[in-house]
Amino acid sequence: MRKLSADTLDLTRRPRRNRKAEWARRLVRENRITTDDLIWPIFINEGDTPREPIASMPGVDRLSVAEAVKVAQEAVALGIPAIALFPNTPSHLRDETGSEAMNPDNLTCRALRAIKAAVPGLGLVTDVALDPYTSHGHDGLIEDGRILNDETVAVLCKQALVQAEAGADIIAPSDMMDGRVGAIRAALDDAGFQDVSIMAYSAKYASAYYGPFRDAVGSSGTLSGDKKTYQMDYANSDEAIIEAELDIAEGADMVMVKPGLPYLDIVHRLKSTFGVPTYAYQVSGEYAMLQAASAAGMIDIEKAMVETLTAFKRAGADGILTYFAPAMARYLAKNA
């Protein structure tokens, strides 16, 4: 190998010049997080107890409807444009068919009405799937151990309608049934909800990172088997293109990748291929890992939070669903 000396090095271009000081780094920075990029997922609970801590998600609580209204007001004060609601349905209201999902007075719908009345300018995102409502913990109806696709889609349409009637601004189907986006779009339009958007969980993988979330919504103890027949194989990338293409053709206004950080390549591929609003969900397991590392003194949680959320933007995400949303918003205000 030829050795280079100071005389033979070509240092006409020195990239380090653009990194020499904070002001210089700011001038050339390619990606920035703002509060406009954040969607705050919250968990809601039956009863009057304001907050119930979730052991596997330090700093995250299940909220009563009244407390969820206060959190929604906090989101507005922080400049966060939207929150996403996830219910912890009591066991006595869960059954084989997830019938509580279609109840216009269920926990999600009551929370939607209360929040919309208090803070009408805040965007409200709702999950369309049956797993918070079924006694078996699956996202769809089951017959002889098999998840029924078309029959489940019919139920999801009814679930989407009661949520839209209660005030949902964005319907987010997370079930991964085939054809559900087109069916939900048609149901919403036929009922006069043409302005309600659909954020499709287009690339939702069968992942080990969902554990704390299932604790939060009470489905970890009820889930039988796994979800690999309808959620995607984490070894696949091209399949995400097919899923997103179908969802967009069926009327999705936005697409989502879930989980987030381990799937930045998928975020990048979807955004580069389709150019539609593309979101990522920094899921419960990702959040819990960072919190556990911080509690063990291994990382600086604030620096890790900012770095990981910036990585989503660098990959092409237009926004991130993250439990760090309020902490990130406060960080941005502090460092404005």
Catalytic residue set: 204, 258
Kindly calculate the radius of gyration of the chain based on its CA atoms and give it in whole angstroms: 21
CB 227 within 8 A of CB 175: no
Q: Strand 123-128 to strand 141-143: parallel, antiparallel, or no bridges (unpaired)?
A: unpaired
Q: At 66, is the secondary structure helix, strand, or coil?
A: helix
Neighbours of 66 (CB within 10 A): 12
> What gap in Å lies between CA 159 and CA 155, rounded to an integer?
6
Cβ pair 173, 129 in contact under 8 A? yes
CA dist 17 and 28 (Å) reads 11
- In terms of C-beta density within 10 A (0-12 exposed, 13-18 middle, 19 or more buried), how is residue 44 classed? buried
What is the DSSP secondary-structure string of 166-215?
A: HT-SEEEE-S--TTHHHHHHHHHHHTT-TT-EEEEEEEEB--GGGHHHHH
What DSSP state is assigned to residue 233?
Answer: P
β-bridge partners, 63: 44, 51
- Long-range CB pairs of 307-312 (<8 Å, 24+ gap) are 308/261, 308/282, 309/33, 309/37, 309/282, 310/31, 310/32, 310/33, 311/261, 311/264, 312/260, 312/261, 312/264, 312/267, 312/280, 312/282
Backbone angles phi, psi at 231, to 5 degrees: -85, 155
